[in-house]
Structure 1
Amino acid sequence: MNKNSKNNTNIKLALFVVLITFITSTGYGQNNASEKVLFKVNIAEDATPYVLARILQAEVSPISEIKFEKGTYHFYPDLGLEKFVHISNHNDVIVKTAFPLDGFKNLTIDGQGSSFIFHGRMIPFLIDNATNITIKNVSVDWAQSFHSEATVVANNNEEHTFDIQISNEYPYEIRDNQLIFIKEYYEHDFGQAILYDPVRKAISFNTEAYTSLALYKKVDVSRNIDKIKYKYPTDRQDPDKRIISRESYMVFKEITPGVVRIYNHKKKLPEVGKIIVSKGEQQHNRLAPAFRVSNTIGFNATNVNVHHAGGMGLIAENSENLILDGFNVTPSNGRMVSTSADATHFVGCRGQVVLKNCTFSNQLDDATNVHGTYQIVQDVKDEYTLGIRMGHFQQQGFVIGRTNDKIGFLRLTNSFFPFAENSIKSIKKINSRYQIITFNQKLPADLKVGDLIENLDAYPELTVENCTIKNNRARGLLISTPRKTVIKNNFFSTEMEGILIPVESGNWYESGSARDLLITGNTFQDCQHSGFNRGVIRFDTDDDNKNTAFKNIRIENNVFNQFDNLILQVKNVDGLLFTKNTITNSGTFPQLHADNPAIRIEHSKNIQFKKNTYKGKASTILEADDSAGKLKFK
């Protein structure tokens, strides 16, 4: 027996002993009835091997409930189950987990008020092919965050440099004049960065004037790159493509221990006292969401707090009936930031998605994003069969549907709605980016390479009610579902749009468009304070044409208390009623775009305004092109 074999045998023996000891000490033996498992705080130093061992035995000894004695439990990756996973809107990664809930049915995990502290590149809850899973009464956090924070302590206008003070919480080193933050099991460069206001504990006002940082410049020497030809379309955002023809531009030098000076910044110098937050390069900084739910029917999260994650708080894919009640994403330990990406995100889901009584604050992206996927026709195999490819590298591996799902064929230059429909007979995955779909009926005769497909069945009804969304980077809600959507009694204070209703076809390839949307009883407080010239509620499409994309919109009984003018930006809409809303000027910040109207309308029709109250500062309330006909704000 060689040395590696001996080591593997010893590890297996050790885990077996741990498992037998656990079962014996807790009194849970092997039987056919589902058991209720209780973990006590004596495993808290590293709970991973104990929890994992029991979960891996569930096939022969089923579990109906896992409870934790209230306490603080640490989870380390070293003894976790290793898996390679494709995760939508994240990097494709090899990660470790203590909760591989694959194929589980009717399982409840109750933390009873416990805190779970994770270390390094772990996905706390990896849920796949499951039914009726409930997680409740638990907080999820990381011992060391996947982002880093530093305080601006000086700036020099003559040399156009600024200094940052880095606390001991964020170990770092400087390599080749680049600042690298070192974590447990992970590191990141300066990468994406944004300013926070430590007084408001929110994204700084007008941060777009100061960030992001220009980390790269075009290389001085580049020969014959244009001679490299690709037979098939490529994604220029792929990590291996994005680095071509660019090199580091910014220079980082330590002035005194803990103080680093930053050179070659292109925008305005950040103000002294502000917190600059860094999370590394976009292509590498989404690798550890707190919850990954896929191919699951029935998921409930109740009284769950996510204080941090190296990605999203929850990413759900191809799942059905998801209810988050008191699912809160908030920072801990004095950090400015909670999750490093969206608080929640739903791709290709169906049934009901409900977010109620939630707080989403200080995350570095949206509160939620609900959409399907556009996939691109790569080739037409025969009358029934297509080769399709994923457009964005962070959607690799995503399967667009299942047998008999209804598929729409689109050419967005002509219409945002399908020109033909069909249904899936089978899907064969060739690689992470290319799949072959066979359909039940013949393909449209005029289908072309480059057209898009979307799954018309894989959209949920959406309810967002009694939620607080504030102090985060980016938007509040991104809504791209044609099913009934109700956004009710929420509070928004975001650095970009409170609500964005898009058709996103050219970058992320996120499909769907709102066609039955009610926005009612909400308060919008000082949204769009980062500096972008956009509406608080905005309808927009990537494809600049006059075609209708959105239908049947009601915006009623909301309060807009804004420092700036532009409240509503409407584009490509057929049928919108804006009624009983109150618009006031907060005076919180100076206006950034004082020439804007309160409402701007393009390429839209059947728009109505009734019984609204305007007390803002815009000299022009309503600005519309000829498509809307004669309109009057009232």
Structure 2
Amino acid sequence: MTALLDVTDFGAHPGQHHADATPAVRAALRAAAAEAGPVVLRFPPGDYHLWPDDAQRRELYVSNTVGDDPRHRVKTIALLVQDTDDLVIAGEGARLVLHGLQTAFAVIDSRHVRIEGLEFDAAVPTVVDATVVGAGPAHRVIRVPPATLFRIDGTSIRWHGETLRSGALAWSGRDALEYTQIHDPVRQRTWRGPNPLFERVRSIRSVGERDLRIDYEHDDEPADLGLVYSMRPTTRDHPGGVVLDSSGVTLLRLRFRFLHGFGVVAQTSRDVTLEGCQFQPPPGSGRHSAGFADFVQFCGCSGRAVVRDCSFDGPHDDAINVHGSYLRVTGQPDPRTIELEYPHAETAGFAQFSPADRIELVDRATLQPVGSATVSAVRQPSGRAHDRPLRTMVVTVDADLPGALAGRTAVENVTRTPSVLIAGNTFRNIPTRGVLVTTRRAVLIEGNRFERTGMAAIYVSGDADEWWESGPVHDLTIRGNEFIEPGGPAILLDPRNTRCDGEHPVHSGVVVTDNRFVLNGSPALDAKCTRGIHFRDNAVARRGAQGPDVILRTCSDLT
């Protein structure tokens, strides 16, 4: 029998702006975890304000965030589901407002969890969206959203978060912060670029509740009226949400209005689904950014990774990225033992292998396999503590490996690779790519609409030198999608190997069919070092600049 719980029975009262619902939500989740059978935990409609002071905290290491930086090893989590099975968290009409810097939700060591209907937002987003609403000789007027807090300090602006119970500000930064992307609401394009707002400033003053006039020490008249400069720091100290070491997790009809730090990360988990979710700032808020970085990542997952019928609007990096992690081989004490390390500064600290997992070693220059084996034992970080080395591990396998592996090779866990379905989604106002995918199991990208991505709409990479995101694609179908004026190739197959032999491709088995491409200078398909490309029954139209429809570099077996 299913147990029914309600957060209001634990002291959470929607609509009370100054009340912290965190203790009540913690108590409700604790009670749900204690139930023996299936549980439904309900959030009635209304706003719930969650402050970090009494929130749950966990030491966690998450891909593409801050690696093993000790300053950020502990994450503050607004909604924590841990060691819990058969739980539904239902919240149609409920809005969770996060204060300070927090991970919106975490599902850890749990099975059969569904979170549905909730809306997540930040009281003070860590991205500042400044719209140029006036411009003339030697000045601009910029408008910031009501949620943005700031203070004028001479010829500088200090942006900041709320004051916490400790008296400290949740965050702060000055002027252009550390990163800028630019959004054109008329052309519906977003791109990375320089920020001229705070160059050679003579004075800054308020000219309205949300308007700031910036005067300059030059006579030029800015030509950026109407553009939005989206500014933020660059430290990804929290994942926006995380599904960690769990299985059978579904995120259904969630509305992510802002995700701080990174996106929703499914890491070393199995069978994770996002369906009907919306990643988009609140309408009428004056905000154009819904995320601090990527929106969704699957890292080292297995089973099925499914993203269906979602909308992605306004991230600060890619919308969806599905990948594994290459580890650099640094030593070989004996023929059956290899020493490995995390080479990228933003990824470290979590376990990569279990006994019986199958691994593949690749030459870093060619990305070609040079050996494979089954793991028999491993010494590695746990992902939850720093009592072991966080960047290195030692793996013992069941068979002799080739010699001289150190430095020239990388290792991928090929057991932890998912099949992927990405279907019925919409991608817009994205400065980079819509979908990145590198997995050797079957991938179907179907019925999506990609609108004016800043770079390639679909990017298939794989590299053991820069981001170290593994591995090859062997079965990829891209079918029935619309690609509207991408800023790069609509589909880019670009493994980052430095030596490519046509007889030994990195990627293979790619079918591109029944798609509609509307292009302006970019190709529909740009492929390198791939065997078995079938490009057929696609409609290609061009606006403006002409160019080749298909570019092939060291490819074979083509239709």
Larger Rg: 1
In 1, the alpha carbon distance for the partners of 2:338 and 2:152 equals 50
Counting only pairs closer than 5 Å after superposition, residues 327-346 of structure 1 correspond to structure 2 as 327-332=277-282, 333-346=285-298
Q: Are the equivalent residues in 2 in contact too, given 1:174–1:180 (CA < 8 A)? A: yes
What is the correspondence of 1:432-443 to structure 2 with a 5 Å cutoff?
432-443=390-401
Alpha-carbon deviations, 1:166-224, whole Å to 9, x = none?
43543334679765421121224421101111335x334xx45xx13499xxxxxxxxx
Structure 1 distance, partners of 2:121, 2:344, is 29
Q: By how many angstroms is 1:121 displaced? A: 0.9
Q: Share of identical aligned residues, percent?
A: 23
Task: Work out which of the residue numbers 421, 440, 444 in structure 2 matches 1:463.
Answer: 421
Q: Does the 8 Å CA contact 1:312/1:345 hold for their aligned counterparts?
A: no
**Counterparts of 1:607 and 1:433 in 2: how far apart (Å)?**
42
Closer, same or farther in 2 for the Cα pair 1:443/1:197, shift >3 Å? same
Match of 2:311 in 1: 359
- Confirm whether residue 128 of structure 1 aligns to residue 99 of structure 2: no
The one-letter code matched in structure 2 to 1:301 is: L
Answer whether contact 1:311 1:342 (CA < 8 A) is retained: no
Task: List per-residue Cα deviations over 1:523-560 (Å, max 9, x = no partner).
Answer: 111111xxxxx311111122232231110110000000
> Is 1:499 paired with 2:458?
yes
Question: Structure 1 residues 546-555 or 253-262, which shifts more?
Answer: 253-262
SS in 1 for 2:91: strand
Query: Which position in structure 1 is the counterpart of 2:345?
Result: 393
Offset, 1:319: 0.5
AA partner of residue 13 (structure 2): N
Say yes or no: does 1:165 pair with 2:142.
yes
**In 1: Cα distance, 2:118 partner to 2:261 partner:** 19
What amino acid is the match of 2:342? M
1:395 aligned counterpart, secondary structure: coil
2:58 pairs with 1:100: no
1:308, CA displacement in angstroms? Answer: 0.7
Where do residues 605-624 of structure 1 align in structure 2 (5 Å cutoff)? 605-608=556-559
Deviation at 1:492, TM superposition (A): 0.7
Could you say what secondary structure the match of 1:503 adopts? coil
Change (3 A) 1:297 1:263: farther
| SS of equivalent residue, structure 1 residue 98 | strand
**Contact 1:423/1:441 (8 A) holds in 2:** no
CA distance in 2, matches of 1:213, 1:422: 51
Report the Cα distance in structure 2 between the residues aligned to 1:119 and 1:573, rounded to whole angstroms: 47
* Deviation, structure 1 residue 482: 0.9
Superposed displacement of residue 327, structure 1: 1.6
User: Against the structure 1 CA distance between its residues 114 and 380, is the aligned structure 2 distance closer, same or farther, given a 3 Å change threshold?
Assistant: same
Deviation at 1:261, TM superposition (A): 5.4
Q: Does 1:297 align with 2:250?
A: no
Partner residue in 2 for 1:23: none
Q: Return closer, same or farther for 1:261/1:289 CA change in 2, 3 Å cut-off.
A: farther
Decide which structure has greater helix share.
Answer: 1
Give, as a single letter, the amino acid of the residue that structure 2 aligns with 1:292.
V
Quick check: 1:275 aligned with 2:228?
yes
Q: Alignment partner for residue 558 of structure 1, among 494, 512, 515?
A: 515
Tell me if 1:510 matches 2:469. Answer: yes
Pair 1:199-2:199 in alignment: no
1:539 is matched with which residue?
493
Aligned Cα RMSD in Å?
A: 2.6
Note the residue ranges of structure 1 that are not aligned, 5 or more in a row.
Answer: 1-32, 216-248, 529-533, 609-634
**TM-score normalized by the length of structure 1:** 0.76
Alignment partner of 1:84 is 2:66 = no
Q: 2:384 maps to which residue?
A: none
Provide the residue aligned with 2:385 in structure 1.
none
What is the one-letter code of the residue matched to 1:289? P
Assess if the C-alpha contact under 8 Å between 1:459 and 1:483 holds in 2: yes
| SS of corresponding position for 1:42 | coil
| Residues 552 and 576 in structure 1, CA contact (< 8 A), matched pair in contact too | yes
SS at match of 1:124: strand
User: Any residues of structure 2 matched to 1:203-282 within 5 Å, and which?
Assistant: 203-204=189-190, 207=191, 211-213=193-195, 254-257=203-206, 258-260=212-214, 271-280=224-233, 282=234
Correspondence 1:312-327 to 2 at 5 A = 312-327=262-277
- Shift in alpha-carbon separation, 1:253–1:203, aligned structure 2, 3 A: farther
- Residue pair 1:252, 1:260 contacting (<8 A) in 2 also: yes
Work out whether residues 417 and 549 of structure 1, in 8 Å CA contact, stay in contact via their aligned partners in 2: no
Relative to structure 1, is the Cα distance of residues 77 and 358 closer, same or farther in structure 2, using a 3 angstrom cutoff?
same
Q: Work out whether residues 178 and 251 of structure 1, in 8 Å CA contact, stay in contact via their aligned partners in 2.
A: no
- With normalisation by structure 2, the TM-score equals 0.86
The answer on 1:482 being equivalent to 2:440 is yes
Give me the whole-angstrom Cα distance separating, in 2, the residues matched to 1:271 and 1:166. Answer: 13
Shift of 1:395: 0.6
